[in-house]
Structure 1
């Protein structure tokens, strides 16, 4: 029998826009002529019931709060959606299930750090961003805006828990690994887009990627599309990193992979269904869409990086 074929889609920071993501998946299915089997969200999903929730950062209260329709059973996600935590979530709702749970039919929180097997794929994950001052502090119950902010930082024991994972098909993180922009600069590839600041990302996530060596890494947080590879020296496996834009526009917020068994055979960005990469080809900035889409004025672009 031929290996099972899967269409796995990564989506960038949703920030409450569940309806938009559902419509995007409909469009991608039509373009690829097949169903989407699995949707993976890289944090800042914001499954709040109300946009003005007091636990939500003030800059985020203009964002939609569409999750209530799913939580109340009025609407159901058509495809299974699994997400990690970013640094903007309803942390009070997530706190008592660090190993993950189902928030609503077909909406699953993976948890703070761990390993999950989904449709035959081995998927590792680390929620949150790096804040050195809180790395070794215990996690407090997020009952206020301040403690909720602290809940968006990963802790040392969580990193330790996943540091021995191996043979991962996918690794989901919210914040970029440090140094991948410099890696792209060193490659010197011709690109029409400006490169992000070299300091984006954190060293803990980078150390994990260098240690775990997942085949693919999906990131969010910085609201920019990016593509780079790490590893490949000698017999060290290659980790292909795809950083996703926020889910305000699909061009670089949607990244899909088609699998045959556990082998990724092709990948692409956005909703056109056009293939940007095939197995055996290099993965770098030349695989991004040619021109970055312009920002929409109504999608919260005035926020500073830490608020992402």
Structure 2
């Protein structure tokens, strides 16, 4: 299976997909899946911009709305996590994960999903020690404080991921695990980013929870973004333990190293996205502890994974593991629409989230306005299944090869700038 990994998307879906198409053509290959490490900016309409923490000059619609509306369809299956520059109101609708647009899947605030037999986990947001132990108390419309805290990683979501026992092939985080710089070319990194040096010395560059998860989950690959530079590392887990190949990538701009292609062992295609049984088990087992108030106390949480696992297995055997169909909730952007006709509601109850919780027999806790069936299209959207091609493999045996195969937009970028 050939997987492309992208750093910070910043809403540049058209450019990233076009770059991948050029890569496929030039290397006579086929990419099966695209992963994005955050700052995806799933902005459906101008009202969503109010929930994105960026300076006013960067509040642009960019191109996601085309894919949300159906004007464009993602040419390859795409999975993304959230960063710190997101339409947080929309991602909150899909807290447990779901299709943000046809063929574009949000992994949730924390999540594990399967693509074929490749298991992919992720943690959205960035680490902030002050907010880490709080509950998920923020609701749209966000005040200026909540506009920032909404994307700060919470202990509850990390605790869920810490329950994962089965092997993870790929893990995504927006910010880097603290200490990852010890495992790569630190001198070269500081040469490129000299202002990192003080934070690295103080052990404040990166995320403490991400480092904890890296040590616990030991995935084969770990990809990050956020710091807008490329950095690779090898993490040896114990003297004879497994190795994690880490790579951070840049944002989608001309001349930046924002895209990487890897080859991972897999069953024969075509591939499709499926719920992960263990992750649904964890979600059900920990739902009663879901902290919705500002204060959160997880010290006495007890987890009955064994009791939930067979229940989930039985449910999946009846329904199947395919995620629920995409459903639009908010109106999409219309370039010809006047500002006075822009939507006023910021947060909706997402039918995918409701369907997942009904499937797991759990209460809906996220709030939001019920979407009107007269206003929004709830029809199922078809996702493309991209099969393995017979093109030459792209081997990845070590980090040196990982470096050499980075796709620098460079020469391609001038055409799209």
From the superposition, tell whether residues 157 and 223 of structure 1 become closer, same or farther in structure 2 (CA, over 3 Å): same
| CA RMSD in angstroms, aligned pairs only | 3.1
- Kindly indicate whether residue 167 of structure 2 is the aligned counterpart of residue 170 of structure 1: no
**Counterpart of 2:50?**
54
- Alignment partner of 1:257 is 2:256: no
| DSSP-derived class of the 1:93 partner | helix
- Given that 1:82 and 1:109 are in contact with CA atoms closer than 8 Å, whether structure 2 keeps it comes out as yes
Cα 1:36–1:277 shift into 2, 3 Å: closer
Aligned partners of 1:43 and 1:83 also within 8 Å: yes
Structure 2 vs 1, CA of residues 47 and 250 (structure 1 numbering), >3 Å: closer, same or farther?
A: farther
CA radius of gyration, larger in: 2
How many pairs are equivalent? Answer: 277
> Is 2:272 aligned against 1:240?
no
Supply the distance in 2 between the matched residues of 1:75 and 1:285 (Cα, whole angstroms): 31
Residue 123 of structure 2 is matched in structure 1 by 126
1:75 — aligned with what?
A: 72
3-state secondary structure, aligned to 2:227: coil
Does the C-alpha gap of structure 1 residues 251 and 77 become closer, same or farther in structure 2, counting only changes over 3 Å?
same
Once residues 245 and 222 of structure 1 are traced to their aligned partners in structure 2, the CA distance between those partners, rounded to angstroms, is 7
CA contact (8 A) 1:184 1:284 kept: no
> In the alignment, what sits opposite 1:44?
39
* Structure holding more helix per residue: 2
Matches within 5 A, 1:87-236: 87-139=84-136, 140-144=138-142, 145-165=144-164, 166-184=166-184, 194=192, 197=196, 198=200, 199-236=204-241
- By relative contact order (CA 8 Å, sep 6+), the higher-ranking structure is 2
Residues 190-248 of structure 1 deviation map (CA, whole Å, 9 limit, x = unaligned): 79953562242122211110111000000011111000011154221101101010111
1:193/1:291 Cα in 2 relative to 1: closer, same or farther (>3 Å)? farther
CA shift for structure 1 position 99: 1.1
Cα distance in 1 between the residues matched to 2:402 and 2:261: 16
The whole-number CA distance in structure 1 between the counterparts of 2:62 and 2:408 is 30
TM-score by length of 2: 0.60
**Where does residue 291 of structure 2 map in the other structure?**
none
Moved runs in structure 1, 4+ residues, more than 4 A? 190-193, 273-277, 282-293
Structure 1 counterpart SS, 2:244: strand
Q: Match of 1:14? A: 9
